[in-house]
Amino acid sequence: MIELPEQFKERMKAQLGAEYGEFLAAYDRPAVRGLRVNTLKVGKERFLSLCPWETEPAGTFEEGLIVTGEAEHIGTHPYHIAGLFYMQEPSAMSVIAEAKIEPGMKVLDLCAAPGGKSGAAAARLCGKGLLVSNEIVPNRAKQLARNLERLGAVNAVVTCAHPDAVAEALPCFFDRVIVDAPCSGEGMFRKDPQAIAEWSPEHVKACAVRQSAILESAARCVAPGGKLIYSTCTFSPDENEGVIDAFLKEHGDFRPELSRRLYPHKVNGEGHFVARLVREGSSFPGFAESNLKAKTVPAKGGILRSMALPEASSVSGFLSDTLEGNVPDASELRVFRSGAVYCPFDYPEALMKLPIVSFGVEIGEFAKNRLKPSHSFFMAAHGFKYHSSLDLEAESRELAAFLGGNTLNAGEIASNGRYLPVTVCGFPVGFGKLTDGVLKNHLPKGLQIGAYR
């Protein structure tokens, strides 16, 4: 059995009463492995028909599954690389289930890395509306952007800012604000020995202070009629109900709508807490309707601008050569830093005040007005069709070779010099350029693997 801190056990015994024995017995059972089907790319039924592992419903989220059998190297399986699923703790999935996100909403995930809840929010948005995923730690913000890239989010902006800065830039703007607050991690003791080693009553109280500060910033971002979702992976009342109760005493414009605890002896997962608060009213001082509308980007200057004619011509040529049928409208294309991006969403001008890690979907980088296509574009769940692709079986030697960074023999699949995706069961895992029947591999080196078995 896991050796739990004595003071923690004493508090949990008082907290749970007659259920304490069941709670303690849960630590004799192994932690479960959960995954969320990414419905941006694949329906749940289709995924189940493809899935090579034994699974059962998670019970905490409609698209959530628990892997019940052996699943070696699941993180390097082609279906994972293609973004068909995200490995996520089952209890953590409940946060987005309770957020009640609908397509077209404006959603902020304030403490978003590594991206599990942002990815689930993006799936609920179905490519419509706006998702701002923020992470204050730069390296974690980059990882967040990579995960949203793999999952195919097209309407996401990743920022790296202090919560106060986000609130200053985007007050009263979002329909949903998610705060998955840093916490003492009590709910993860069964999976994370480091959380046990770091635990103390003093650490719990310090976390509660930090959580209250983050919640203050988050509240400023909620639009009238919008909802604030607060969650932790801890059992501590100080970090959960205590934080919420103190907040509500100071904010009469918010009212509680839901409070839910998940315990490992009650659900097939770890410990979690989620509360949903509603901001009442239709308008109030500080709320600006202009905040809700996109602004015209400048033709020159800034990190985001309209395309110059040579840039637009280069992007148009690439899209016409690569996609079949409809291509992105010119109004959905921008230059972000030195590359072309696809951004089929409205965004407020004030968003550009924040440090931005990624904006929409990168189509490619410009080099002397010529476009070097990006992995991001081929991974995006943008709904367009490709002229041609090289489709490979999940267990094939050819796919293993491609994922390892090698070239492939492609024959007469497309004309010389054309870029095309490499797919597994129709889902892109990367892309290459065809030259004389050979597909030159353009999979980023950081994503290449020696083998996935």
At 387 the three-state DSSP class reads coil
Please report which confidence band the pLDDT of residue 302 belongs to, taking 50, 70 and 90 as the band edges: confident
The 10s digit of each residue's pLDDT in 78-124 is 999 999 999 999 999 999 999 999 999 999 999 999 999 999 999 99
Is 187's pLDDT higher than 60?
A: yes
Q: Which of 419, 394, 409 is nearest to 82 (CA)?
A: 394
Q: Residue 48 and residue 66: Cα distance in Å, rounded?
A: 12
Domain ranges in the chain are 6-279, 295-375, 388-447
The 10s digit of each residue's pLDDT in 262-298 is 999 999 999 999 999 999 976 554 545 545 455 455 5
Token match 């202070």: residue? Answer: 209
The 10s digit of each residue's pLDDT in 364-415 is 999 887 899 999 999 999 989 999 999 999 999 999 999 999 999 988 787 8
Residue ranges of alpha helices (H) inside 200-265 are: 201-220, 241-250
At residue 290, the pLDDT reads: 47
CB atoms within 10 A of CB 355: 15
| CA dist 445 → 374, 440, 448, 450 (Å) | 13, 13, 5, 11
Indicate the CATH number for domain 388-447: 2.30.130.60
Annotated catalytic residues are 233
Indicate the CATH number for domain 6-279: 3.40.50.150
Share of the chain above pLDDT 70, in %: 94
User: 49: which strand partners?
Assistant: none
Across 12-21, 278-287, 318-327, 358-367, least confident range: 278-287
At residue 413, the pLDDT reads: 82
DSSP string, 15-72: HHGGGHHHHHHGGGSPPPEEEEE-TTT--HHHHHHH--S-EEE-SSSTTEEEE-S--T
Q: Is the dihedral of CA 13, 14, 19, 23 positive or negative?
A: negative
